[in-house]
Amino acid sequence: MDPVMNMAVDQMGRSVRLSVLPQRIISLVPSQTELLHDLGLGDRVVGITKFCVHPEEWFRSKARVGGTKQVDLEKVRALKPDLIIGNKEENERGDIEALEREFPVWMSDVDDLEGALAMIRKIGAITGTTDTATQLTGNIGRAFAGLQPLPHPVKAAYFIWRKPWMLAGAPTFIRDMLLHCGFTPCPPVEYGRYPECSDDQLRELAPELVLLSSEPYPFSEKHLAEIQALLPTAQVLLVDGEPFCWYGSRMLHAPHYFQELLHRVQAGQ
């Protein structure tokens, strides 16, 4: 007998025909994989990507279906999923189009905190974990409400790549996190989502604060002097990329990290 089906609308406005309670779920997005764990889905998640490092026990034990940008269709087929969860930015359109010809694919599209909270609620609804999702979003909302932003805006550039330099622009979840911290994101909105910038452009932008992220490019101590030489008047800090760009349950801990970062900025560290 076929399972009872229903229609769900994803964050890209697509109608997706789903089993009422999916039992074989594949996640194609690291932050959403961790969310599925924290919603208590356990054995119902049968596949993840090679970048889904949290939780560690899933990274060690769950079947992997390739990367976020290169999904292995044969490995997906072997797992016989009744729900695949992806993301508009993280996954390649060609992969998603190939997958949705054979399987139900629900897509998130997250550019800010409100979109992330909506994603959690919607995934809770389609996986039968509404109560847990509601509790989680409430806790995240309260955590962000307690965040004390900088008293005076600081012009901040968030670097995501080197050679070429690339910054987080707009509209992006990273930019929204910067705004919640009280930073004035640099570059301005008209530069687009992830602009490449030359040395001269960076000098012209003249950020007061440079944040070098741990992902996707793994900035480290050895890059601090390089940036400081380019932007000698800027404060340059290494930051953990996960609080800035993981828009699942990890958001619960992000405000604490941001508060500590803001103390460093104010202390000139």
Helix pair angle (113-127, 30-38), 10° resolution: 50
**Do residue 106 and residue 170 come from a single domain?**
no
What CATH number did the domain enclosing 29 receive?
A: 3.40.50.1980
**Do residue 165 and residue 256 come from a single domain?**
yes
Domain count, the chain: 2
Of 111, 139, 168, which residue is a domain's last?
Answer: 111
Cα–Cα distance for residue pair 185/222, rounded to 1 Å: 24
First-to-last C-alpha distance (Å) of the chain: 63
Strand partners, 129: none
**Do residue 174 and residue 262 come from a single domain?**
yes
Of 111, 141, 166, which residue is a domain's last?
Answer: 111
Looking at every residue in the chain, the average pLDDT score rounds to 95
Domain extent, residue 54, equals: 5-111
Q: State which residues of the chain have pLDDT below 70.
A: 1-5, 269
**pLDDT tens across 77-101, in order?**
999 999 999 999 999 999 999 999 9
Q: Which helix (H) or strand (E) holds 47?
A: strand 45-48
pTM of the predicted protein model:
0.94
**Do residue 99 and residue 159 come from a single domain?**
no
Per-residue b/e over 52-82, b at no fewer than 16 CB within 10 Å?
bebeeebbeebeebbbbeebbeeebeebebb
Please state whether beta strands 154-161 and 183-186 pair in parallel, antiparallel, or not at all (unpaired).
Answer: parallel
**Do residue 175 and residue 256 come from a single domain?**
yes
Cα–Cα distance for residue pair 71/99, rounded to 1 Å: 9
